[in-house]
Amino acid sequence: MTSFAKILIANRGEIAARIARTCRQMGIATVAVYSDADAHAPFVADCDEAVRLPGAAAADTYLRVDLVVEAALATGADAVHPGYGFLSESPHLAAACDEAGVTFIGPPAAAIAAMSSKIEAKATMRDAGVPVLEGLDASGLDGAALTAAAGTLGYPLLAKGSASGGGKGIRVVTAPDGLADAVAVAGREALAAFGDGTVLLERYLEGARHVEIQVIADDHGNVAHLFERECSIQRRHQKIIEECPSPVVDAALRERMGQAAVAATNAVGYVGAGTVEFLLAGDGFYFMEMNTRLQVEHPVTEMVTGLDLVRLQIRVAEGEPLPPEVTAATITGHAIEARLYAEDPAAGFLPAVGRLHRFRIPVGVRVDAGVADGSEVTVHYDPLLAKVIAHAPTRHEAAAALARALAGAELYGVTTNRDLLVGILRSHEFLTGATDTGFIDRIDVSAMAASPIADVAGHALAATLGHQARRRATAAVQASIPSGWRNAPSQLQVQEWDTESGTTVVGYRFDREGLVAEIDGSPLAATLHRADAEDVDLTIGGVRRRYRMLSVDDTTWVSSPLGQATLTRLRRFPDPVVHEAPGSLHSPMPGKVVAVAVEIGAEVAAGDTIVVIEAMKMEHSVRSPATGVVAAVTVTVGQQVDAHQVVAVVEAPAPAG
């Protein structure tokens, strides 16, 4: 047995911070590796030492086995912890660590290799007696051969990268006419994210649930399963809400699935923490894949078992046997995790970028975060900001606690999926357990993700008073009133705001009786108790509330018990409008052009793909909104583009005759 003094963390974001926290508790020093885009990220400061990986793209930094091993050797690290994603399931990193005399905190390279190909993994599981869904290798197939092969499985089916994970490189195909494009996109995404473009075709079970089993094994022949996690609520085949235990798994089914997971673990000589993923349909379940690493959703298992899975990974890697608290673990209470992403659900879950000016989540829940106030969200990596986890005696209590914490969070500067998460957690379908992998596709995402704000007047008035307090930042003003009191009545001071519901005009002044306010010309009974630049205490309509806010340039974010609002201060003389050609199509976000599907002069129909942009490991198609003719293509393959940059122009067709 060995004892690690220093561990290099070959990852970034919240998982790097999570591993560093456990290492500190264990008295182990840590080394971070970081890209240029992450130079100021919180996880870098969380570690004792850090090594720069020049560049920003994952392929140049976090996916470089040679640079990771060099950093471990240069800093004298005893071991490398890969976290999840990036190189966490790379047999090459495990083998390179062994060759360099550095411990890889994970399974042997052979076990990773056995499970890294979904095609080969299915064959291994079938031989081990684990139920599987049939699939086939689509590599090298196109045209009629591809269509014929898919026909042997039947539709709908999944086209997914054989080495993919985390929802990347997966497409649902419902008919033959979409097959070739789905295989091509899945292959490109898998190659970009995992370095392997092999594509597997597999039957897609509609209405199934995604249930996985946490396993852990040591070098002494001990294997234990730590129960199931329900992960059915997904968008783009990537989980957004996970929980333990599953609301539909009883003790008998839990034991059957657990034993199948243990059999899968033994079949590949596995050591360390891993997850065996199943599709659950009725009381039947089918092997999907084995993730030979820690999962993003591991905190829900930790909360209900009281175990630290990162600590267990480290102890197993040091050669210790599984302790009794693992082999005798039980489930206590219920835990639910929500993944907080920088993305816009109403815009097809389009990832968002920018500066996160404020990141605060109320106490009472666990927050595993990779960001802090001022963090920059870039196009280079997955847009996960944080995982928020609630643990309570019952499922309903856990859901309520998590929804309340998310609703009360101050998330200013970047669009997030927070309101969608709250809507799901409070929905009848979720609370009754009536969800499956198709849940997100069935609901009205825009309606469920709509901000619950019902107090535009209060938020606008609070923003105005806070703005004036900031302008007149003196101790006396901050402690009392934000606008100059005058002996004689005067006309109202006016501020216009652009809000989610349109323009709101706030008028106000102070007289001997206190605050006089109007909203859009109508009097508003309001009493100001206190105001400063970030905290306004108001009574409106007989109800007293605190409004917390942050202003950056002309934008003010305001939060209260009634929700969060984003308001833009309208200037008296707006900036001139920039004109562009009619029919201009824009990039939805910063990224790289990976495909240009048309030429100038081509006739296109509504919905036709014009340009494909790659950002945050996913491809985003810019499509023609209507029938027309391509008048201009302003980008080329490989070019970096900015958000809202014009990439092409599609003009209406000329009149006949």
Residue 481 has what pLDDT?
47
Other beta carbons less than 10 A from residue 254's beta carbon? 18
What are 304's two structure tokens? Answer: 């209900």
Q: What is residue 202's DSSP assignment?
A: E
Whole-number Å distance between alpha carbons of 92 and 627: 49
The answer to whether residues 459 and 480 touch, using CB atoms and an 8 Å cutoff, is no
Residue 118 has what pLDDT?
77
Task: Identify the residue whose tokens are 């009848």.
Answer: 428
Task: Identify the residue whose tokens are 């199943």.
Answer: 278
The predicted model gives 206-218 an average pLDDT of: 95
Judged by DSSP in three states, 442 sits in helix
Residue 204 has what pLDDT?
82
Mean confidence (pLDDT) of the chain: 91
The answer to whether residues 273 and 267 touch, using CB atoms and an 8 Å cutoff, is no
pLDDT tens-place string over residues 455-512: 889 999 999 999 888 876 644 443 444 444 444 456 899 999 998 889 999 999 998 8
Other beta carbons less than 10 A from residue 578's beta carbon? 5
What are 352's two structure tokens? Answer: 């968002």
Would you say residue 291 has pLDDT above 60?
Answer: yes
> Does residue 309 or residue 485 have the better pLDDT?
309
Residue 479 has what pLDDT?
45
Nearest to 69 by CA among 83, 54, 87: 87
Judged by DSSP in three states, 5 sits in coil
Q: Residues 6 or more apart from 555 whose CB is under 8 A from it?
A: 566, 567, 568, 569
Has domain 134-203 been given CATH number 1.20.120.1200? Answer: no
User: Would you kindly state where each structural domain of the chain is located, as residue ranges?
Assistant: 6-105, 134-203, 209-448, 456-569, 584-651
Residue 484 has what pLDDT?
47
The answer to whether residues 414 and 355 touch, using CB atoms and an 8 Å cutoff, is yes
Task: Identify the residue whose tokens are 């974001």.
Answer: 13
Whole-number Å distance between alpha carbons of 41 and 35: 10
* Burial zone of 68 (CB within 10 Å; 0-12 exposed, 13-18 middle, 19+ buried): buried
Cross-strand pairs, 233: 241
Among the residues of 101-232, which ranges form H helices? 109-116, 118-127, 143-151, 179-194
The predicted model gives 359-375 an average pLDDT of: 97
Alpha-carbon dihedral sign for residues 136, 142, 147, 149: negative
Range scoring the smallest mean pLDDT among 509-513, 525-529, 543-547: 509-513
The answer to whether residues 8 and 31 touch, using CB atoms and an 8 Å cutoff, is yes
> What CA–CA distances, in Å, run from 372 to 375, 381, 412?
6, 16, 11
Residue 575 has what pLDDT?
52
Judged by DSSP in three states, 451 sits in coil
Task: Identify the residue whose tokens are 């391509």.
Answer: 630
The answer to whether residues 469 and 480 touch, using CB atoms and an 8 Å cutoff, is no
Would you say residue 601 has pLDDT above 80?
Answer: yes
The answer to whether residues 545 and 436 touch, using CB atoms and an 8 Å cutoff, is no
Would you say residue 298 has pLDDT above 60?
Answer: yes
What DSSP line would sit under 299-367, residue for residue? HHHHHHH---HHHHHHHHHTTPPPPHHHHT----SEEEEEEEESEEGGGTSEE--EEE-EEE--TTSEE
Residue 42 has what pLDDT?
97
The answer to whether residues 163 and 116 touch, using CB atoms and an 8 Å cutoff, is yes
Nearest to 16 by CA among 5, 40, 35, 32: 32
Whole-number Å distance between alpha carbons of 529 and 215: 56
**Can the peptide bond before residue 156 be classed as cis, meaning omega within 30 degrees of 0?**
yes
Other beta carbons less than 10 A from residue 6's beta carbon? 17
3-state secondary structure string across 127-153: HCCCCECCEEECCCCCHHHHHHHHHCC
Whole-number Å distance between alpha carbons of 240 and 166: 11
Would you say residue 346 has pLDDT above 80?
Answer: yes
Alpha-carbon dihedral sign for residues 253, 255, 260, 264: positive
Other beta carbons less than 10 A from residue 443's beta carbon? 17
The predicted model gives 43-53 an average pLDDT of: 98
Residue 483 has what pLDDT?
47
Has domain 456-569 been given CATH number 3.30.700.30? Answer: yes
Residue 576 has what pLDDT?
55
Predicted confidence band of residue 591 (pLDDT cuts 50, 70, 90):
confident
Residue 574 has what pLDDT?
54
Predicted confidence band of residue 515 (pLDDT cuts 50, 70, 90):
very high
Predicted confidence band of residue 307 (pLDDT cuts 50, 70, 90):
very high
Would you say residue 577 has pLDDT above 80?
Answer: no
Nearest to 215 by CA among 228, 207, 224: 224
Phi–psi pair at 442, nearest 5 degrees: -90, -25
What are 391's two structure tokens? Answer: 């643990």
Cross-strand pairs, 346: none
The answer to whether residues 111 and 88 touch, using CB atoms and an 8 Å cutoff, is no
Most distant CA pair in the chain, distance: 90
pLDDT tens-place string over residues 84-143: 999 999 999 999 999 999 999 999 999 999 998 877 888 899 999 999 987 788 877 888
CATH architecture designation of domain 584-651: Beta Barrel (2.40)
Of all residues in the chain, the percent with pLDDT exceeding 90 is: 72
Judged by DSSP in three states, 267 sits in helix
- For residue 69, give the H/E element and its range: helix 65-75
pLDDT tens-place string over residues 383-396: 999 999 999 999 99
> What CA–CA distances, in Å, run from 133 to 377, 465, 556?
38, 61, 51
- For residue 17, give the H/E element and its range: helix 13-26
Would you say residue 251 has pLDDT above 80?
Answer: yes
Whole-number Å distance between alpha carbons of 535 and 548: 5
The predicted model gives 308-337 an average pLDDT of: 97
Would you say residue 438 has pLDDT above 50?
Answer: yes
Whole-number Å distance between alpha carbons of 4 and 575: 59
Q: Cα-Cα-Cα-Cα dihedral of 468, 474, 475, 479, to 10°? A: -20
Would you say residue 79 has pLDDT above 60?
Answer: yes
Other beta carbons less than 10 A from residue 220's beta carbon? 11
Has domain 209-448 been given CATH number 3.40.50.970? Answer: no
Residue 166 has what pLDDT?
58
Q: What is residue 176's DSSP assignment?
A: G
Has domain 6-105 been given CATH number 3.40.50.300? Answer: no
Other beta carbons less than 10 A from residue 50's beta carbon? 21
